[in-house]
Amino acid sequence: MEKIKIGFIGLGNMGGGMSLNIARAGYEMVVHDIDREAATPLLELGAEWAETPKQLAESVDVIFTSLPGPPEVTSVSTGVDGLIEGVSKDSIWIDLSTSSPTLIRELSKKFEDHGATVLDAPVSGGVKGAQTGKLAIMVGGNESIFNQVKPILDSFGDKVSYTGSIGSGSICKLMHNTIGYGMQMIISECLTLGVKAGVKPEELVECIKNGSVGRGNLLNVTLPDTYLQGKFDPPNFALKLARKDVSLALELGREYDVPMEAASHAYNELTAAMNRGWENKDSRISLLLQEERAGNIEVRVDNS
């Protein structure tokens, strides 16, 4: 894979940084963007310019796209002068966009009819991560093709994960982002309440950063030791104590007229779990209620 030619479409905030890191790793490149000026840094490094996605696909072995979303992915891949018109047998298309899992699965089948392979590989780490090569890359598709192109992915990402069949990378990225935005909601509730109740923002944020939440214990320690193992006894922190804490926070919110929608939902979940007779179990047992609502889906991770 060392002497292959790489095409890159979408040279914006994310794609610009990723493509430059690929070029700096020594790969020969062909690039395209709706704004030719965005390609200037790459052209100065010796990259070639392609007038259309089709032209780019005709001249490279591996194609990367970094686009805003499903409409752009569809247009670039199967629109007029799209990638599908230029790919050949053994072509590999890797879509780095945060897009629809269903769409990439449909497109993968169409590209297979032309002998090409598709991987979905959305990234996380922001613009700075794209510039510095500090990105998480979540890759779905054929595993042998993933192993073949991994050295290229390593040139712009420091945490590259194979996630399973086509579309699974996009699923992981969507779940990751939605967790982040959900966390933002309850963080904003607690920060506004804390400040209104009399704590300075600097001190409040510092305390949260220094505590279990700020240290990342939930995903790295607590959930792996309890919920992800299906182990709730003996409790790490009892359900009845967790509900007491959230109840006190909601009482404070009422006192200071601060709406606490996300916290109220958490309280309702803990209360429903209490009504199952789980008060002395680990508080994470309340998460089983969502498993039931999802159709008795069990989320368990083997740590052996």
- 167 and 251 part of one domain: no
- 71 and 11 part of one domain: yes
pLDDT tens-digit readout, 213-239: 999 999 999 999 999 999 999 999 999
**Of 134, 173, 209, 281, which one is the catalytic site residue?**
173
Q: Kindly state the average pLDDT of the residues 17-46.
A: 97
128 labelled catalytic = no
- 160 and 223 part of one domain: no
CA dihedral 260, 261, 264, 268 (to 10 degrees): 180
Q: What is d(CA 231, CA 284) in angstroms, rounded to the nearest whole number?
A: 9
Which backbone phi and psi does 163 adopt, to 5 degrees?
-110, -10
Predicted confidence at residue 39, as pLDDT, reads 97
This prediction has a pTM of: 0.94
Look at residue 298 and tell me if it is in a domain: no
In terms of residue numbers, what domain contains 167? 5-171
Report the 10 Å Cβ neighbour count for 289: 16
- 63 and 155 part of one domain: yes
**Which of 171, 202, 226 delimits the end of a domain?**
171
- 22 and 164 part of one domain: yes
Look at residue 201 and tell me if it is in a domain: no
CA dihedral 161, 162, 165, 171 (to 10 degrees): -10
> Does position 33 have pLDDT exceeding 90, yes or no?
yes
> Does position 278 have pLDDT exceeding 60, yes or no?
yes
- 33 and 146 part of one domain: yes
- 65 and 138 part of one domain: yes
pLDDT tens-digit readout, 123-181: 999 999 999 999 999 999 999 999 999 999 999 999 999 999 999 999 999 999 999 99
